[in-house]
Amino acid sequence: MIIGIRADGSKSKGMGHIMRCIAIATEFENRDIDIIFITKEDKSVKDILINNKIKNVTINSNDLDDEIEEVVSIIKKYNINYIMTDSYWLNYKYLLELRMNVEKLICIDDNNICTYPSNFIINGNIYAQDLNYDVIYKDTKLLLGSKYTILREEFRNNNEYKIIKKSVENILITMGGSDINNFTPIVIESLIDLNLKLNVIIGPSFSDISELENIYSNNPKVNFINNPKNLKEIMIKCDIAICAAGSTSYELASLGIPTILIQQAKNQANICSKMSELGIAISLGDFSDITKEMISKEVISLIENYDLRIKMNSISKKHIFKDGIKNIVDEILNNFEFK
């Protein structure tokens, strides 16, 4: 049995789709199902897939009509049975052609971007049930909401949660795998005068950070952590976090860490809105509207409000499920006859 995964990533657009597909792929591989990633040519993506020992092939088309021909040829060449997509680039016509060339089509979606001709639609975002999906096939199954949240392996299948202290000493800063808007320096500068330890995550696809590291190389307040393999352990030691509103926001919520969200891309708006509405996190809005003074003010306010941090921790535990990927794979295996 072979599942193909059609997803992309880059330094400019981020690595969220690639990373969450790797998380699902790992669960399938743990159940002896082979995986092949189908991606556009990108060195950063290639390196990540190689490091995770995942088989992958690249496509070169820049037009959807050309691309579907290329992908269909890959499906036939590798005898791919089922295909999973995770891309804003694809449309109904493309997906329908895919469905006609595989046994089953599985689509990961964040924002109900088209009418899906899929057997499965997966949206593990906390706002997913608000999107009113319109399906055209009776066999389409919707896996929506935080029961299906996609978390990396280190955040799953454990009962570890942050214990909230009255004093705040450590802040986590993480602006995504590539920090597409180079917003990390803004966050550091907004907090550098506070009596806090700043733990700054440098993602695997960051652009050159040497200048940033040189500026703060002798500052004991700033701790740069380059592409950590033990991110959960680093997170749990921090008292609050400032985070891009992508997949990492769910990882922080799964640990109950009070978090301030910054929208780095349009597709993160719904996460900011829903997590703020539910009281899981505080949203500052779009990065382009955020000043250093706004960040500093919000952080100081959260530090001083111990009761709010306790409440955010408690609400996160109620809304974020840690076994979302297991639930996804179970649903697929239980509904499809794998060969």
Q: Nearest-CA neighbor of 26 among 155, 140, 125, 117?
A: 155
User: Looking at domain 2-154+322-335, which CATH architecture does it have?
Assistant: 3-Layer(aba) Sandwich (3.40)
- Percent of the chain scoring above 90 in pLDDT: 79
- Given a cut of 90, is residue 167 above it in pLDDT? yes
Tokens describing residue 4:
């193909």
**What percentage of the chain exceeds 70 in pLDDT?**
98
Q: How far apart are CA 286 and CA 181, in angstroms?
A: 11
CATH superfamily, with its number, for domain 159-319: Glycogen Phosphorylase B; (3.40.50.2000)
Instruction: Indicate whether 28 pLDDT > 80.
Output: yes
Do the domains 159-319 and 2-154+322-335 match in fold?
Answer: yes
Residue 339's pLDDT band, with cuts at 50, 70 and 90, is: very low
Reply yes or no on whether the pLDDT at 18 is more than 50. yes
Average pLDDT of the residues in 288-295: 97
* Mean pLDDT within 166-177: 94
Among candidate residues 163, 223, 164, the one with its CA nearest the CA of residue 199 = 223
Task: Give the mean pLDDT of 220-227.
Answer: 92
Alpha helices, H only, 154-230: 184-191, 210-216
The better pLDDT of the pair 238, 266 is held by 238
What's phi and psi for 199, nearest 5 deg?
-100, 105
Distance CA 326, CA 51 (A): 23
Per-residue pLDDT reduced to its tens digit, 42-51: 998 999 999 9
Q: What end-to-end distance do the CA atoms of the chain give, in Å? A: 6
330 vs 177, higher pLDDT: 330
Domain ranges of the chain: 2-154+322-335, 159-319
Across the range 232-242, mean pLDDT stands at 97
Q: What is the pLDDT of residue 208?
A: 67
Averaged pLDDT for residues 164-183: 92
pLDDT of residue 337: 59
**E strands present in 187-281:** 197-202, 222-226, 240-244, 259-263
Structure tokens at 43: 């060195």
Residues 6 or more apart whose CB falls under 8 angstroms from that of 164 comprise: 239, 256, 258, 306, 309, 310, 313
pLDDT band at 299 (very low <50, low <70, confident <90, very high): very high
